[in-house]
Structure 1
Amino acid sequence: MKIMKKLNLIYLFAGLLFLVSSCEDDLNTVPLDDDASTAEDFFSQDNAYKSLLAGVYGNLSLTSAGGAFGSNIGGLDPGTSQYGRALMNLQTFTTDEAIWSYENDPGIAELQRTTWTPANVIIRGAFGRIMGSVAFANEFLRQSTEAKLNSRDISGEELQEMPTFRAEARLLRALSYYHMLDLFGKAHFITEEDPVGVFRNEEIVGVDLFNYIESELLEIIPDLKDARTNEYARADKAVAWMILAKLYLNAEVYIGEDRYADALEYSQNIIDAGYSLTPNYQDVFRGDNDVNGAQNEVIFPVPADGEFSQSFGPTTVMTNGAVGSIEQNGANLGVTEGGWGGAIRLSPQFVSLFQGAEFTNDARNGIISEDRPINITDVSNRDQGYILEKFTDLNTSDDPVDDNLTFSSVDFPMFRLADVYLMYAEAHLRGGGGSLTQATEYINLIRTRAHNGSTTWNISESDLTLDFIIDERARELYWESHRRQDLRRFGLFTGASYVWTLKGNSLSGIPIADYRGLFPIPSESLSANPNLTQNPGY
């Protein structure tokens, strides 16, 4: 393990130990012990508030302070409720990007066959973990009011940092509400002003949720650190800009409003902040991506560490799952030779995005096809369908990052610069302003990097179309939890315009109803909270 990797892990675990979630719902967070002395003991420690804030961040990486096999949200399995894995399950495995072989795993068959119901356990895990993040942020804000700080005699550097700490907690809450808007279209609305255990008699839906996220982010930006000046894996102004740019790019889907000019503006803010593409594409997805140069491209990483912060998160899944049943290529991925025995295969529709001479030497093309048929006629037959290597738990010199061959040390790049270049280009094409020449140049930076510095496969301005963008986004960003959102924005996720293997529970793919653009509110969440209502169609 590299010294001081990621957030200080001591802070992270201490913060998670203080923050626990009720076993009855997804919105309560209470101190570890009802005895008030527990809180006072905690806050008497040096850097207690930094530790507590790290606990809020920790909810993005971990499922409990007790390790990968525990969950601090009652009733949720740690394998289905890790934050990044929840995004991966709902944004990736519901699309053409990946097929999970083990359909006996609870909930996964319904997701990849697009037949989910409100009883789906994976959807329940996503809902609970995301709303749990809201609860953790709320508790930090409750504990850091002016009155609380005065009563605890907080002073010096810790007090000076408090506006930034509170802004970061509000950003993490806004991030979670953004994910709720994207996945569910609504959320139960609760802030630090609400007493623990008391529900407001309202949910927040559509335009109101959109406006709340937007206003929160705009309000906290002045208190956030400038882009690229905060500690690794802590949020800054660029992360707020990124959430806003995503919100605006998808505004027509979310609220029926054209906000492409705003999407382009905030994308440009990020581009102007000094980020740069990592010269080697594959370094972005290696076990040392916090120090190998990828940190100049990644705007917001979610830390992973196979030795000290284990979880069944997305990079653990994508390294172990990418080992083929035939290939036994675990050594290429920094995991055991057999990995998870061919857990992930590709749909032929995704494979087609990399077909053609221009992709033969494309660094993004990690597809392995030898000795395999492209089509999957039996999901349980792990020898069918191509496989792919992207995330690898090796460092830049191909040495293991740590001795753990199961849990990944690859930090998950939730937001990165290449996505911003693609967002700028798309916002321009959709009428958001900017320059076609500039948009093309940004895309060609991505293409040149993909071809190891060669400009042979760069595009011209006439090549830059929306059809090109949706395909290029898949080639650049696959397995990074963007695909469902992208397909939905392009009108391809539901309906008949685009079908893929298993869509509609058909090997050849059939249309699905438009209501499946949003996921259902889980049955358990409806039962626990009578103020929530179900999405149409479910």
Structure 2
Amino acid sequence: MKMKNIYRLGTLALFGTALSACSFLDTDPQIIPAENYYTSETKLQYGLAGVYGPLSSEELYGNYYSLQISNADDLCYFNNYNNIDTRPDRYNHTAGTAVIYDAWLKLYQGIKNANEYIKGVEASQIDPEDLSTPKSRYVAEARFLRAYYHFLLAQAWGDVPLRVEAATSPNPNDVQLAATPQEQVLKWCVDEIEAVVGDLDPEVDQTPSRVSQTVAEGILARIYLFMAGESVAEVEGLPKKEMYKKAADWAYKVIESGKHHLNPSYEEVFINMIRDQYDTQYHESMWEAEFLGDRTSADKWTNGRIGDLIGLKSQSTNTNYSEWACNYSYGFYNGSYTLWQLYSETDRVESDLSPEDDENNIAGKMVIDKRRIWNLPGYNFQGYSGSHATGGREITYTVNNDKKTGILLQTRSMHRTPWNYNNNFAMRTIEGLEEVEGKFDLNDLVYNPDVMCAIRNAGKWRRETLYENQMSAKSLYTTINFPLLRYSDVLLMYAEAINEYNGAPDDIAKQAIREIRTRAGIQTNESQLNDPQSFRELVRNERGRELVFEGLRKYDLIRWGIFVDRMHLAGTNIPSEAIYRNTTYTDYAATSYANVGDRHIYLPIPTKELAVNHALTQNPLW
């Protein structure tokens, strides 16, 4: 693994060093649209960094778009029951909700930057002999990003203004632009990317920060799959079935390239992001929104809250942060009981199952999906501290019908804190647990891996100091990157698309599913691979298990035409037994799920946008 080189560009002279590690993206440059500005490769890089910049903003993949807008689905819910705000992840938002306007504005800022950059570069004269990279590649990257920003808008809002020209004046009339139908925006996106895909770098970069040819091919597969879905009107002359073929063809190009592979370790894919490292061996993480620094100083500025808002809860009144085992995290997102069932019950082979579970996969016990172990771990870092005189937490539990009272001592945020109910604990070994003489018998503890399974924190991007740099002070901003495209997603997109197009999976699709499940440590029922309907359900479930918390599931449910039904089902799919749930959290989640209706298939056009662009009208049902 190669540690990410982090440079804050203070002067243009640093750009020669920056390009090799893609660290020119580490700055927050201004777009300089003057036609005669782009006269060197250094300036080309500087301007392109500004086109990429919005991806790494808090408004997009740092928080608003990736988490609040896209991450609340049937497998994940916002758990802060003290929050009464209107929020997209609670589905009580309105057209005036600030998060929605801020994300909209940032996407159009990216489009504006791209338009100005493309116009400026195409009008500039640069001697080809002065360039190590053809000027056409810089333009191709900017055109790709402009199309990608439009795709995000059309996917989330439906009909949106298609802005492909740089504004020539500050005239307010330039703002007036009616919405283009969603299907036409999406068709423009794929046409634009297909036009430039051949000009993008065919080689895999040493970092996933920039767009390569295979990244563009993978994103084309994603857009075509969305176009083939239930929520998008059919494009004239392009039947839905043909879109599935297009999606399969582009996904296959990525597979055929041989440049990407599954990392044998599922957890290492995300540990790399937490550690601020690039995977230069497998290149499974194909494209990431990059976040640098922790805001501890002006030269370590970042806009990412991955791991802080979503992660394992870690909070304490102890401000000696150098002792913490997990840096500060609100842990505002939980996996749902539906997700737990996907891992533990659905699509499992009988020989992998046993009445007794074991976190270490001891022979003879149930084989646990490794993705469940990573994404829904049996602990967070809340600790057992309280107001009790001993400094511990008093609990009541029952052993052989004998009611006992005990005190657990564990310093908060210094040890992994197992989920527990009564004397049942989700881990066999409890770090930092001490017995208070005469009060508690450690032999009473019962290992039960299902404890509190409906309210566990999303563990994909945990801030454990084992992986993330130790913080010297509380920091809510992190260096943890957010994946925009992974190779496992490409494999699953191919499997889905070819099954829908051919009416049956081919051998490549079947092997893709086997490969993903083998990495997860679970067997595959071959009969599910031979029936088209069973295969469709298997692929849909596998997308949930593999890609959960990555902001894709909501749009999968929408394109499959089952979004509202699945959200309502998740809200009522709550275990009745107290050992599996906490009613404060699950009732709060149920309320959010119940809020979902047909209008939530699209976001409302922001009120502020309607106030300035009078050519726009509000989305139906809003």
Q: Could you say whether these structures have the same fold, taking a TM-score greater than 0.5 normalized by the shorter chain as the test?
A: yes
- Equivalent residue number for residue 343 of structure 2: 354
- Describe the superposition over 1:70-106 as per-residue Cα deviations: whole angstroms up to 9, x where unpaired: xxxxxxxx5x555664132212125431323165374
Structure 2, unmatched stretches of 5+, are 7-17, 235-239, 346-351, 354-365, 379-417, 422-451, 572-585
Counterpart among 118, 121, 135 of residue 141 in structure 1: 118
Q: Distance in 1 between matches of 2:100 and 2:42?
A: 36
- Paired residues of 1:113 and 1:504 also in contact (CA < 8 A): no
Q: Name the aligned partner's letter for residue 430 of structure 1.
A: E
Q: Relative to structure 2, which stretch is displaced further, 516-525 or 346-355?
A: 346-355
How many angstroms does 1:411 deviate by? Answer: 2.2
| 1:268 to 2:252 alignment | yes
Q: Name the aligned partner's letter for residue 191 of structure 1.
A: V
- Paired residues of 2:327 and 2:464 also in contact (CA < 8 A): no
Q: Distance in 1 between matches of 2:193 and 2:41?
A: 29
Counterpart among 299, 305, 321 of residue 292 in structure 2: 305
- Cα pair distance change 1:422/1:461, threshold 3 Å: farther
1:301 counterpart SS class: strand
1:30-429 matched pairs, under 5 angstroms: 47-62=42-57, 78=58, 80=59, 85-101=64-80, 104=83, 106-108=85-87, 111-146=88-123, 149-150=124-125, 156-158=129-131, 161-197=134-170, 198-199=174-175, 201-229=177-205, 232-251=208-227, 252=229, 253-256=231-234, 257-258=240-241, 259-274=243-258, 275-286=260-271, 287-288=274-275, 290-293=277-280, 296-307=283-294, 310-313=301-304, 315-317=306-308, 321-323=311-313, 337=326, 339-356=328-345, 360-365=367-372, 366=374, 367-369=376-378, 370-372=418-420, 385-393=455-463, 398=466, 400-401=468-469, 403=471, 406-429=476-499
Counterpart among 485, 494, 514 of residue 598 in structure 2: 514
- Equivalent residue number for residue 430 of structure 2: none
Q: Name the aligned partner's letter for residue 181 of structure 2.
A: V
1:187 counterpart SS class: coil
How many angstroms does 1:312 deviate by? Answer: 4.2
- Equivalent residue number for residue 72 of structure 1: none
| 1:17 to 2:29 alignment | yes
Q: Distance in 1 between matches of 2:5 and 2:110?
A: 24
- Paired residues of 1:107 and 1:121 also in contact (CA < 8 A): no
- Cα pair distance change 1:496/1:345, threshold 3 Å: closer
1:465 counterpart SS class: helix
Q: Name the aligned partner's letter for residue 526 of structure 2.
A: S
Aligned residues: 480
| 1:500 to 2:495 alignment | no
- Paired residues of 1:372 and 1:384 also in contact (CA < 8 A): no
Q: Distance in 2 between matches of 1:354 and 1:485?
A: 21
- Paired residues of 2:202 and 2:214 also in contact (CA < 8 A): yes
- Paired residues of 2:76 and 2:335 also in contact (CA < 8 A): yes
Q: Distance in 2 between matches of 1:61 and 1:194?
A: 24
- Describe the superposition over 1:168-223 as per-residue Cα deviations: whole angstroms up to 9, x where unpaired: 00000111111111101122222235425423543222221122111101111121
How many angstroms does 1:262 deviate by? Answer: 1.2
Q: Distance in 1 between matches of 2:331 and 2:264?
A: 30
- Paired residues of 1:372 and 1:385 also in contact (CA < 8 A): no
Q: Name the aligned partner's letter for residue 537 of structure 1.
A: L
- Cα pair distance change 1:432/1:247, threshold 3 Å: farther
Q: Relative to structure 2, which stretch is displaced further, 243-252 or 230-239?
A: 230-239
Q: Distance in 1 between matches of 2:268 and 2:289?
A: 16
- Describe the superposition over 1:147-170 as per-residue Cα deviations: whole angstroms up to 9, x where unpaired: xx23xx665333852100000000
- Cα pair distance change 1:225/1:508, threshold 3 Å: closer
1:465-504 matched pairs, under 5 angstroms: 465-495=535-565, 498-501=568-571
- Equivalent residue number for residue 444 of structure 2: none
2:29 counterpart SS class: helix
Q: Distance in 1 between matches of 2:270 and 2:501?
A: 33
- Cα pair distance change 1:508/1:139, threshold 3 Å: closer
Q: Distance in 2 between matches of 1:337 and 1:218?
A: 44
- Cα pair distance change 1:182/1:415, threshold 3 Å: same
- Paired residues of 2:209 and 2:290 also in contact (CA < 8 A): yes
- Cα pair distance change 1:270/1:84, threshold 3 Å: farther
- Paired residues of 2:26 and 2:292 also in contact (CA < 8 A): no
- Equivalent residue number for residue 459 of structure 1: 525
Q: Relative to structure 2, which stretch is displaced further, 422-431 or 308-317?
A: 308-317
Counterpart among 524, 527, 535 of residue 608 in structure 2: 524
Q: Name the aligned partner's letter for residue 257 of structure 2.
A: A
- Describe the superposition over 1:216-256 as per-residue Cα deviations: whole angstroms up to 9, x where unpaired: 01111121111525764111221221221111112233223
1:17 counterpart SS class: coil
How many angstroms does 1:277 deviate by? Answer: 0.4
2:491 counterpart SS class: helix
Q: Distance in 2 between matches of 1:269 and 1:408?
A: 34
- Paired residues of 1:185 and 1:205 also in contact (CA < 8 A): yes
Q: Name the aligned partner's letter for residue 202 of structure 1.
A: A
How many angstroms does 1:424 deviate by? Answer: 1.4
- Describe the superposition over 1:312-333 as per-residue Cα deviations: whole angstroms up to 9, x where unpaired: 43524456x422579x9x99xx
- Cα pair distance change 1:355/1:507, threshold 3 Å: farther
- Paired residues of 1:248 and 1:263 also in contact (CA < 8 A): yes
TM-score, reference length from structure 1: 0.78
- Cα pair distance change 1:266/1:196, threshold 3 Å: farther
- Cα pair distance change 1:533/1:317, threshold 3 Å: farther
- Describe the superposition over 1:356-376 as per-residue Cα deviations: whole angstroms up to 9, x where unpaired: 466853221132355357xxx
- Describe the superposition over 1:366-388 as per-residue Cα deviations: whole angstroms up to 9, x where unpaired: 32355357xxxxxxxx9982223
Identity of aligned residues (%): 22
- Cα pair distance change 1:353/1:505, threshold 3 Å: closer
RMSD: 3.6
Q: Distance in 2 between matches of 1:335 and 1:45?
A: 48
Q: Distance in 2 between matches of 1:9 and 1:229?
A: 9
Larger radius of gyration: 2
- Paired residues of 1:226 and 1:236 also in contact (CA < 8 A): yes
TM-score, reference length from structure 2: 0.68
- Equivalent residue number for residue 4 of structure 1: 5
Q: Distance in 2 between matches of 1:487 and 1:288?
A: 32
How many angstroms does 1:341 deviate by? Answer: 4.2
- Paired residues of 1:248 and 1:262 also in contact (CA < 8 A): yes
Q: Distance in 1 between matches of 2:334 and 2:565?
A: 24
Q: Name the aligned partner's letter for residue 302 of structure 2.
A: S
- Cα pair distance change 1:230/1:166, threshold 3 Å: farther
- Paired residues of 1:263 and 1:432 also in contact (CA < 8 A): no
- Paired residues of 1:444 and 1:459 also in contact (CA < 8 A): no
How many angstroms does 1:10 deviate by? Answer: 6.3
- Paired residues of 1:228 and 1:236 also in contact (CA < 8 A): yes
